[in-house]
Structure 1
Amino acid sequence: MTSRIDSASRLIQGTPQAIYRAFAEPGAMERWLPPDDMTGEMLHFDFREGGSYRMRLTYARSGEGRGKTSEDADEVAVRLTRLEEGRRIEQQVMFESEDPSFAGVMHMIWTFLPRDDGTFVTIRAEDVPEGVRPEDHEAGLISSLENLAGFVEAAE
């Protein structure tokens, strides 16, 4: 594991509670969390502090060999370590991969700061595995934030 930290932020036109619900409601994360070049499938979902979820992210264009778990997919097991409704979500993320460069636990912290013009959402990823290229991770974080904004803003 490395001590690398990646982060991204975005102002979203929605309340902190609406953004929190985009995580907590079954079926919601599958629709917005995957970056633009991927689709998501929730394999297990138990959203509560101490709970967990498992998700498969599949690349839209198969056969390019970019997946961590298989040629065209990433599977992640996520443990929810701290939940503060409408304020903060802390997770431990483990990639399923035979490649040791993706081993270990990445800590992800999502924070929701209310503002007059919406909610400022920040993702902070700590101990990012060395196999995750910084430019790919940055693009994925930004894409997920854009998708989250679209999801929340359409519902508001």
Structure 2
Amino acid sequence: MTDSTRRDTASRFIEALPSKVYAAFVTPEAVAQWLPPEGATMEIQAFEPRAGGRFQMTLTFAAASGKSTAHTDVVVGRFVELVPRQRIVQAFEFDSPDPAFAGTMTMRWGLEAVEGGTVVTVIAEAVPAGISPADHEVGMHSSLAHLAVYVESQVP
């Protein structure tokens, strides 16, 4: 069950142009590298980066913290909007037998060009009630840190 009023946010400066950051969102190999939070790996089963395109991903956790099984999260969803170098909007549906983790969460990723790089801001809306705000904050900041490492290592 999702809380339709809940909004979790996180931001990070990345030393790369918005075009480089955007590319990391629409390349499945890149997403599999940076999106999983610390302690998790990701396998992508489907990835169609276009408005209306679908995705399916399985996160595997070293420690038991999954929502689909003890060690996994299976996430399916779709790309709602893609604006190159500016914005990515995704709808994530969690596959969980626990209603506290079920529902559709919207993730809005904003890319703002600033001197020396890009500020990436993620806003999660309608977050499932079972995801604690503290855990979600840690996870979002971890993903943004991995995004920064990935993108900054790709810049010549």
> Which residue number corresponds to residue 34 of structure 2?
32
CA distance, structure 1, for counterparts of residue 68 and residue 144 of structure 2: 24
> Structure 2: which 5+ residue stretches go unaligned?
none
Correspondence for 1:98: 97
Q: State the partner residue of 1:41.
A: 43
Shift of 1:26: 2.9
Over the residues paired in the alignment, what is the CA RMSD in angstroms? 0.8
SS at match of 1:27: helix
What SS class does the counterpart of residue 69 from structure 2 fall into?
coil
Gap runs ≥5 in structure 1? none
Which aligned runs of 4 or more in structure 1 are off by greater than 2 angstroms?
none
CA distance in 1, matches of 2:137, 2:49: 26
**With structure 1 as the length reference, what TM-score do the two structures score?**
0.95
The whole-number CA distance in structure 2 between the counterparts of 1:97 and 1:60 is 18
> 1:82-123 CA distances to partner (integer Å, 9 max, x unpaired)?
110010001111110010011211111000000012100000
In 2: Cα distance, 1:151 partner to 1:78 partner:
23
Mapped partners of 1:46, 1:71: distance in 2 = 28
- Among 22, 26, 31, the alignment partner of 1:20 is 22
| Deviation at residue 129 of structure 1 after TM alignment | 0.7
Report the Cα distance in structure 1 between the residues aligned to 2:78 and 2:87, rounded to whole angstroms.
Answer: 14
Q: Deviations over 1:54-75 (max 9, x none)?
A: 11011023xx3x2100110011
Amino acid paired to 1:25 = T
Report the AA paired with residue 32 of structure 1: W
Residue 80 (structure 2) aligns with:
81
Please list, as runs of the form range in 1=range in 2, the aligned pairs for 1:6-155 lying within 5 A after superposition: 6-61=8-63, 64=64, 66-155=65-154
SS in 1 for 2:21: helix
% same residue: 43
Q: TM-score scaled to structure 2, two decimals? A: 0.95
SS in 1 for 2:103: coil
| Structure 1: distance between partners of 2:77 and 2:34 | 16
Deviation readout 1:102-154 (Å, 9 max, x if unpaired): 12111110000000121000000001010001111000000000000000000
C-alpha distance in 2, partners of 1:78/1:15? 27
Whichever residue aligns with residue 81 of structure 2, its letter is R
